[in-house]
Structure 1
């Protein structure tokens, strides 16, 4: 929509409040709300002021004033708030009016612009499969003398022997057996359908929704592919809608990668393809039906994967998901059909427009603007430098012998190691000024000090089980 069309929509739908949203640096959505009568055509040029020093990793107190500039093409009517219109905003400096380098959405815009400048492609399509858990109860705390968490789900297998409950009686999903059950075992069908319909009402195309593999309420709603920036915007709507529909049902949703021990974690599988002049560029006669360009794009991702993990798997919890035996990739390989590889080439359709590959390593704790921008830059680097992805993996990784497994490059085993990889390998991200040294340095500083070090210095509950009587 244009600014004028947004104002017309406000009159047509009797909008009384306009919610202005943006994403902070680590990846949490922020907002403030203005009366609808304040919004005018000039607002889409002038923007609205806010305190940038209160945002994690952004401005100092002496340079705190910043602007949010609403983007009319992101407007939708909020399905949860009365008479409220939502718009995603870009962040600008109020004096220079330059786009702010550490605004994640600005990084994504620059990534798409750089891609077009290379003449390699004019569209990078991303189709995300975002997994999440819906729990019935969650409690956790951390202080000087105690640390604990407790999550519960009526369909969790640990509730099979629970007395006094008639909900879902006898139908409990066993560990790793939650893929595609029908109700009553699947207790979340109605909630997921409500999420799907709300997403479609808010302009997000949906392909399917279903229960996922894990017990305890793991779900997935697949969005239709779209260009990078639009997909990142859609993922913000996705999380907002999933969490609020869950609350409507008296439940709570989390995109934490590994909330349950000994069961599958939640990933953000990214299906990717490049297009130019309306034609797909990844369809060809090479391995898995890919083109030479598609092979080089995979080569770029696999070469830079350890550094990409700093953005694609950006929490300490992310690496509890990336272990053997739970469908998460643990080695940096590619394969046709094989879901145990880091990159999978799907076989669902022979049509060239459907030819793509799936990067299975990311998870939904990531900031989608930064994660997908980094992946695109790795693909472009692979294409420009003709990086060979090596040999495909045709076997199940989990069945390989130790000596065979040792020959395969493995994913980082911690956030700390991923951040070190980013320190050592980020030149490809700086091309075209897409990422800046300041963005890279701030990301490493924030993640190291606020997350890696914070976890390292706190006793873990399981340490008491292992060491209390030592």
Structure 2
């Protein structure tokens, strides 16, 4: 849609309200709703004013006036509100209408512009696989008198002995991949999610139950350009959460909500194109990968310790990134190997579908920042001709988890905590500053916010500590 299309849709679809959406530094969406009769061409020229001091990572109170500038191409009709509402994603501007340097969506747009200016490619395509859990109940608290969390699901293996009506068919620990009904109790819910995603303009490819017990699922949608895919991912999470709520369930994209079972990742497929020409394909080479693709992989793996401060930016992320739960913690690449940080899909792949898959990220990432950072790492690899084969990053076509200790010691690993990842980002971020895509100010702000989160977690008494230390 363009501006005229949006204004026409408001009239022809009898839209009552227009919802303008922005995203804060950490990736949470916010919105302000305006009566449709008050939306006109001036709205798309002057934007919508808001208080930037009230959003995480934005302005301080003495300079808080900011502008949300609608992007008409993102408009869709909200399926969850009673009064017919059109939702539009916005870019963040300063009061003088200049781009705001900390706007995550603005950074994604700058990354795409930087790619084109380099002359390497005309477009970068991204396709995330964002896993999630649907629970029937969640309770948690953290305070001076006690801390706890409790989750429940009708599918959970721990409910095999639940009293009252119990029809069995529980999902075993690590046994939830592709079961049919009645074991898969959420097929109809995922169908509904997919229907609404399609109606909202997102092309769904497939959905299925995932490996973990207690209602883990995955819905794959079609790749798109970097910024548009980030838009789609936020819309995806919005639809998943609201359909779950409609059915009396709660959705979470937390990387590791369950102890002892698989977590939820966000494997990110990536490719570069020059017009209609795929730049990652070379027939007959290893995994049919071009030198450009290999250099891109070299950049991803070389900068991975810093990169995951943006792609896995929660303390919970590193509870998923441990061996034994299908989480890639080893910095190698391989064809078709899901134990590698970078996998090269080879099944049913055409030249235009040739791509790399970075398997480490999770959905606590702000997608605009994470996708932009991945692209910048890959472009740095191309510019410097970083060859992952010469850097000790593989290829390694073995199950890494089955290697001997000696073999494993030769493989570089990811940082073991968010604190270590932030230290890596602090010392390795020049690749993000190229083309003024990221700014030092934003990176410093990100590190500061994330270190504050670490302190909050570290200073909170953990129930496990009672078990370990109460009687010492």
User: TM-score range, shorter-chain basis?
Assistant: over 0.9
Name the structure 1 match of 2:159: 159
CA-to-aligned-CA distance 1:236-280 (integer Å, 9 cap, x gap): 100000000000100000001000000000001001100002110
Query: 1:147 deviation in Å?
Result: 0.2
**Unpaired stretches in structure 2, ≥5 consecutive residues:** none
CA-to-aligned-CA distance 1:212-236 (integer Å, 9 cap, x gap): 0000000000010100010000001
Higher mean displacement: 345-354 or 72-81: 345-354
Name the structure 1 match of 2:271: 273
2:86 paired with 1:88: no
Name the structure 2 match of 1:64: 64
Name the structure 2 match of 1:364: 363
Inter-partner Cα distance in structure 2 for 1:29 and 1:350: 35
Query: 1:165 deviation in Å?
Result: 2.6
Name the structure 1 match of 2:245: 247
Name the structure 1 match of 2:227: 229
1:421 to 419, 424, 435: 424
1:185 to 175, 183, 186: 183
Name the structure 2 match of 1:460: 462
Inter-partner Cα distance in structure 2 for 1:181 and 1:220: 13
Name the structure 2 match of 1:383: 382
Query: 1:349 deviation in Å?
Result: 2.1
Inter-partner Cα distance in structure 1 for 2:182 and 2:426: 49
CA-to-aligned-CA distance 1:264-318 (integer Å, 9 cap, x gap): 0000100110000211000013211100100000000000000010000000000
Inter-partner Cα distance in structure 1 for 2:243 and 2:353: 31
Name the structure 2 match of 1:109: 109
1:438 to 431, 438, 441: 441
The normalised TM-score by structure 1 is 0.98
Inter-partner Cα distance in structure 1 for 2:195 and 2:347: 25
Name the structure 2 match of 1:305: 304
SS at match of 2:467: helix
SS at match of 1:73: helix
Inter-partner Cα distance in structure 2 for 1:147 and 1:351: 51
**Unpaired stretches in structure 1, ≥5 consecutive residues:** none
Inter-partner Cα distance in structure 1 for 2:403 and 2:347: 26
SS at match of 1:42: helix
2:31 paired with 1:34: no
Inter-partner Cα distance in structure 1 for 2:306 and 2:8: 45
Query: 1:350 deviation in Å?
Result: 4.0
Inter-partner Cα distance in structure 2 for 1:91 and 1:383: 31
CA contact (8 A) 1:209 1:221 kept: yes
Inter-partner Cα distance in structure 2 for 1:412 and 1:350: 32
Name the structure 2 match of 1:341: 340
Taking only aligned residues, the RMSD between alpha carbons, in angstroms, comes to: 0.7
Name the structure 2 match of 1:209: 207
CA contact (8 A) 1:332 1:411 kept: yes
Inter-partner Cα distance in structure 2 for 1:89 and 1:431: 25
Inter-partner Cα distance in structure 2 for 1:55 and 1:197: 32
The normalised TM-score by structure 2 is 0.98
Inter-partner Cα distance in structure 2 for 1:458 and 1:252: 25
Name the structure 1 match of 2:414: 411
Inter-partner Cα distance in structure 1 for 2:36 and 2:180: 44
CA-to-aligned-CA distance 1:18-42 (integer Å, 9 cap, x gap): 1110110011111110100111012
Inter-partner Cα distance in structure 2 for 1:355 and 1:89: 32
Q: Which runs of 4+ in 1 moved over 6 A?
A: none
SS at match of 2:387: coil
Inter-partner Cα distance in structure 2 for 1:453 and 1:292: 43
CA contact (8 A) 1:125 1:272 kept: yes
Inter-partner Cα distance in structure 1 for 2:56 and 2:295: 36
Alignment length, in residue pairs?
466
Inter-partner Cα distance in structure 1 for 2:388 and 2:466: 44
Inter-partner Cα distance in structure 1 for 2:186 and 2:350: 34
CA contact (8 A) 1:286 1:292 kept: no
Inter-partner Cα distance in structure 2 for 1:337 and 1:187: 30
Inter-partner Cα distance in structure 1 for 2:44 and 2:8: 14
